[in-house]
Amino acid sequence: MSLWFRVLVIAMLATVPVFTMAQTLPVTSSVLENYYRIKQLQGQRDSNSSLMIRPLHANEETQWDTFNEPFSHKGTSVKSNRFSFRPLPINLDQQYNTHHPYGWNDGSMIPAKGYQSRLSAGVYASVGWLSVQLQPEFVFAENKPFETFPVTHTDSMWKHYYSVLNDIDNPERYGSGVYTKLFPGQSSVRLHYKKLSLGYSTENLWWGPGVRNSLVMSNNAPGFGHITFNSTAPVKTPVGHIEWQVIGGILKNSGILPPDTGRTFEGQPLYIPKPESDRYINAFVITWQPKWLNGLFLGFSRSFYQYNEDLPRSMYGYLPVFTSFFKGSTKDDVGLGRDQLLSFFFRWVLKKEQAEIYAEYGRNDHSQNATDLALEPEHSRAYLIGFRKLFKNGKDRDVELMFEMANLQSPGTSQLRAVQPWYAHYQTRHGYTNRGQVMGAGIGPGSNSQTLGIAWNRGIRKLGFTFERIARNNDFYYRAFTSMQNYDSHWVDLSLTATKTFTYRQFLFGANLSFVRSLNYQWRYEQNPASLLDGRKNVNNVFAGLSTAYLF
């Protein structure tokens, strides 16, 4: 622990002169985030910033609502040597699903059928070292009924299904009617000194290099209240530039019961009630850009969570991320009732080729000791890899090719030793979720995805097409179907998405339209089709989304 502490202190002190404070770019602003990531590949943005710890903090060169391209206006703000004030963009995000919920990485919005919208607006102000950002969000969802896990499945399948539901708070449907909720959204109160920031925030976080998924922290769930201590820009050290963030926060439960709680198997109830307590989370991320390897960024993240009543009231309890990596040399996590996730990742920006490659490798459990790690490094692992390449197509146009794949399915070690699905836990039984949504990879526990996309970019304007395959919760599938020797009933979503980003005066629009073909939706199988209510295995869904931002 002392070594971790010394490393962090050195990082905090190795700062350089003060820069002008400004608001953050919310993780929910995918259009602008993608724009700045592309500009870095083109060599037109800070080459020392990893873009792997978000939200990003603005400075004088990158004001999110005052940049010249593609807008000609300079923004609306009041500024002096000690004080600044500006209205934040008004954002309206809208979605529609025709058959069942689809889509992720949408923060406070919920999985829902029908129409859903989120409205946010706010202000940013700073005086001296203090900054305040208020940007609440209001969510409305029709939340129409749709077919969930079929009652026609056998009690044996429901038993395996509940083995997942009992260890995670991840409802398929949020209640039985219209859903409305006001969130604090992308708000924060911070104290700044040079490149250091200390404060309280409810903003969404994203850690890691992934575009579609991130193993430890993403914007798939609503933001949660947390105390944060972080860098606001790359910090120069003798060995290169580093960035970091340490948080301690509270995760909320959804309060929604799983379906059919009265179901039994061999006379025993399947549903096991969960504690009503909130959960404490302590998480840490750091990235390093070695000065000897331009464009290479290395990163590490670690997260612990447990119920509040199990939290030791000590430094060890509040900051477990700075303890040993191995169980054998620490206190027993079983007795503490907590779970850990960690990941190593990298991003390599190749400016000459205008390309990037990246990967993340994570563990949902830490090893007993170094020998255990050497023998089975794949135990409880998940990973993602991806790349992006730009091809010049005219003076100010680019063709973008991207690919990303993520794998959260349990490895072969599950045949020899117990392993929990990613984001689920038998002690902290609401799992790694906030208000019922996974905080990591939006594809969910036990799932895999492959994404291939092509796009034509002209500044922030973009036209793109993406093909994506998602295998839903194979961990459940192999438990439930192995005894049947059934290999052709995986629930797989195949989607084709068209994306368009465009501007009009001070408006920024992001539109997408997806056609989704769900094979074996809800793992339905037709050994005897007449026994099913409708005899269908495959369903179609159309997802439409439109994001509108008015920039003052």
**What's 291's domain CATH number?**
2.40.160.130
Q: How far apart are CA 295 and CA 285, in angstroms?
A: 19
Q: How far apart are CA 186 and CA 206, in angstroms?
A: 13
pLDDT band of 17, cuts 50, 70, 90: very low
Domain tally for the chain?
1
Across residues 172-185, what is the average pLDDT?
95
Across residues 478-493, what is the average pLDDT?
84
Supply 440's token pair.
Answer: 């990591």
Domain that holds residue 364: 2-550
Range from 325-339, 489-503, 527-541 that averages highest in pLDDT: 489-503
How confident is the model over 359-370, as pLDDT tens digits? 999 998 777 777
Residue 275 pLDDT exceeds 80: yes
Range from 38-47, 133-142, 322-331 that averages highest in pLDDT: 133-142
In 3D, which of 404, 412, 334, 391 has the Cα closest to residue 366?
Answer: 334
pLDDT band of 530, cuts 50, 70, 90: low
**Residue 61 DSSP symbol:** T
Q: Report phi then psi at 261, rounded to 5.
A: -70, -10
Range from 10-19, 57-66, 141-150, 528-537 that averages highest in pLDDT: 141-150
**Residue for token pair 């700045």:** 36
Higher pLDDT, 116 or 418: 116
- Output the CA–CA distances (angstroms, integers) from residue 287 to 8, 53, 301, 312, in the order listed: 12, 8, 9, 29
Say what the pLDDT of residue 29 is.
79
